[in-house]
Amino acid sequence: MQIKIHESYRKVVALCDSELVGKKFEEEKMQLDVRENFYKGDEIDEEHVLEKLKQLALDDATFNIVGEKAVKAAVKAGIIAEEGVGKVSGVPFALVLL
């Protein structure tokens, strides 16, 4: 997985499956663009991503999560619920504003 933390008035966390960086997924009325400039960051394993997500949730961060592994990790960390996951062309994603 790749994680990138953007600093703004609050932290914006971009987390995605590494193999999805730079790809675009489209359906009739929806588009998911996993742009490198937003999502490409540090390679991180599940153990560390779980710790990082929990810590960032305490910091009032927002989250942009794309991909099977990333979404599964976010559910496991308690950041999102299964009901909050959408899909575009079969690729799961979630947006979280805490």
Q: What are the boundaries of each domain within the chain?
A: 2-97
Question: What is the domain class of 2-97 according to CATH?
Answer: alpha beta
Q: What is the pLDDT of residues 60-87, one digit of tens each?
A: 899 999 999 999 999 999 999 999 999 9
For residue 54, the SS3 value is helix
* Distance set, CA 85 to CA 15, 36, 37, 71, 97 (Å): 14, 22, 23, 8, 13
In the predicted structure, residue 13 carries a pLDDT above the cut 80: yes
CA-CA distance, 50 to 47, in Å (whole number)? 5
Give the pLDDT confidence score for residue 64 in this predicted structure.
Answer: 97
Query: Residue 90 region, left (φ>0) first, then alpha (ψ -120 to 50), else beta?
Result: left
